[in-house]
Amino acid sequence: MNNYDKNLKLLEDNYIYSKNMEHDACGVGLVASTEGKKSRKIVEYGIEALKAVWHRGAVDADGKTGDGAGIHIEIPYDFFVEKIETKGHNHDHSEICIGMIFLPRDNFNVQEDCKTIVEKELTKSNFKIYGWRQVPINTKVLGEKANSNRPEITQVLFKYNYKNLVDKDLERKLYEIRRKIEKEAIKNNLKDFYICSLSAKSIIYKGMFLAEALSDFYIDLKDERFISRYAIFHQRFSTNTFPSWDLAQPFRAIAHNGEINTFKGNCNWMKVHENEIASLLFEDIENLKPVIQPGASDSAALDNVFELLNISGQPAPLAKLMLIPDAWSKKSKILPREHQRLFNFLNSTMEPWDGPAAIAATDNEWAIVANDRNGLRPLRYTITKDKLLFAGSETGMIDLDEKKIISKGKLGPGEIIGIRINKGKVFNNSEIKNYLAKEFKNFNNQIVDLDKKIIINKEKFIFSGSELRKRQHAFGITIEDLELILHPMAEDAKEAVGSMGDDTPLAVLSDHYRPLYHFFRQNFSQVTNPPIDSLRENKVMSLKTRFGNLGNILDFDKLTKDNIYVLESPILSNSQFEKFVNFFGKNSKIIDCTFTHDQSLQESLDNILKESEIAARQGTTQLILTDKTISEEKIAIPMLLCVGAINNHLIKNKLRGYVSINVQTGEALDTHSFATLLGVGATTVNPYLALDSLRQRYEKKTFWKF
């Protein structure tokens, strides 16, 4: 183990660093042919553009070690035919498959173990292996740190023994083989073994060098036979994390500039979806699990899911809209109705991977660049008379003749621009969404808008007078909470404004009672982003929530066993919540989240978990958690604890996808408490005590605006 790895392990052992907390803020881009022709010029432009965004990555003190940079291009056929023939084989003009692989450098025996796993899985699946190729590299361009933890970089050259497996089917086969190899490597504790790409279509050259050193380090890239119809490039800037060779981008499907702020929740929800995924396209669906690989960064995890959707048949633009959706509203008068229907359906299939994001992606049929719903990362594009599309984080990455420019612009929130690689046609944002809306126009029949089912004429309030005051005291709601937090939200229709780095003492150090919500802090983006109000900026934000039985995300025809229910907001008033429970009737189960003095908290939680599991196994679709029954004899269990425990328990038992968790609580008071409840697994929240408290203040005429 080199010094770099020793230091990294020391930091991990002392809980200073965790690979699970990796984030990125990088430079990303795409160069592609708009007529579907391979050329050397595209590869050269890709390398040149990557060098131009060098400032979007960090540089180590040695002046040569970077956060990581790389390029994703099509496999240069003629180049690798020659490499196969030099190994004594005659190539039969079938598709060439290439695996670009990082191996542990310091241990020859471990290298052989890794190669054995690769060869075993390939030969079992009827592939002929031509041999292994040591990738020629120039280590002089590396910094001391990059060189000390440099892997052994090698390629495996092979082909399928029969000619009846090509294109999508071949890529799907290689994807499943790669996943089996990765699982076997983890099982055998083979560290520093990483497959950059395993494909018959494309190959990835990347590493922990500076962007300007890419073509100097990888000598292959200077060969004139390296031609492609697209080049996706990426310069990494890892915020508050450690660079590594495997986390350099591009990944297999995407290159990502930004941060996924919902990362933990997305990973947990993917575990739920894993229980339901099924497809006859694969030999064994279990080979693909876990979908998100252990230790993946937020970008790598997004790539894992993006790639799975591509491989199972969903085109890259559709995968983007599923994972990084547009924000939209039924009230919008700008969006075409067919686009609203498309977004309504896609937003009801999976949870959004939210956060600043600009991506370049390919599924070997499409090459796209796209922005997140807020447009918080720059993406600019240019289309030229030379039949080329340039897109990336910067203007001027390539020095272009202005006279040859046909059009240029920037991508706004949620927008996409892309090319059908084989057809050589550019699709703008509207054209892509028109195409997808036409393809998936029949799926909206599954969606039920619950807002139309729980319309209320008169609001209902539950507690008042002394009963209300008792409950306020029991839940620790103080006069300060009512005056400084709750009251302004009702009077001004705004949440209280505070600084990002608030100086409130940590709850764990407080001498006074602090709700469990206060022990949690928001996972802020590592870079400054403007505050966003979902009500006033509904073009880029929405509170839309969906629930119901989750289905198979790999098969839109069997996406759900039941209807998909949607609500405009997860926060329900007392009357809405009552109608909501009545709407589902026998399909709902009320779970009392209180306990008595003769029970321990652990016993009470165990009983709740058991009750929830039984309800899910009996076909209940809606769990209703309530603490409304507190009294002199019964104490409320912190609702955050209940929701998190039930959510994790049901995930562990592969039941979470069958039920929604709906909360009726007296604890929830402000946006932070709502956010934490939703974050640990709640689907809807009814803050009955907060609403009753507002009603009391209204009756006492404390609101001067009313």
Catalytic residues: 26
Q: Which of 598, 602, 542 is nearest to 569 (CA)?
A: 542
Instruction: Give the count of beta carbons closer than 10 Å to the beta carbon of residue 277.
Output: 19
144/675 Cα distance (integer angstroms): 45
Half-sphere exposure (Cβ direction) of 669: Cα atoms closer than 13 Å: 23
Q: Which one-letter amino acid corresponds to residue 479? A: I
DSSP strand E in 243-316: where? 254-258
Amino acid at 502: D
Spatial distance between the Cα atoms of 353 and 355, rounded to a whole number of angstroms: 7
| Token pair in block for residue 277 | 């995924």
CA dihedral 564, 300, 424, 393 (to 10 degrees): 110
Decide: 43 and 227 in contact? Cβ < 8 Å.
yes
Burial of 668 (0-12, 13-18, 19+ CB in 10 A): buried
> Tokens representing 290?
């876990």
In angstroms, the CA 354 to CA 374 distance is: 9
Of the candidates 471, 443, 679, 472, the one whose C-alpha atom is nearest the C-alpha of residue 570 is: 679
Rg (CA), the chain: 27
| Tokens linked to 188 | 């055998």
Q: How far is CA 63 from the centre of its chain?
A: 33
Cα(83)–Cα(90) distance, rounded to whole angstroms? 11
Distances (CA, A) of 39 to 42, 80, 225: 6, 16, 9
Residue 261: name the closest of 306, 301, 293 by CA.
301
Tokens describing residue 380: 């600019």
Q: How far apart are CA 62 and CA 545, in angstroms?
A: 49
Residue length, the chain? 706
Contact 417, 401 (CB under 8 A): no
Cβ-based neighbour number of residue 605 at 10 Å: 19
Peptide bond into 290 cis (omega under 30): yes
Rounded to an integer, what distance in angstroms lies between the CA atom of residue 546 and that of residue 28? 32
Contacts of residue 332, Cβ cutoff 8 Å, sequence gap at least 6? 340, 538, 539
Q: What are the angstrom distances between the C-alpha of 457 and each of 335, 460, 526? A: 30, 10, 45
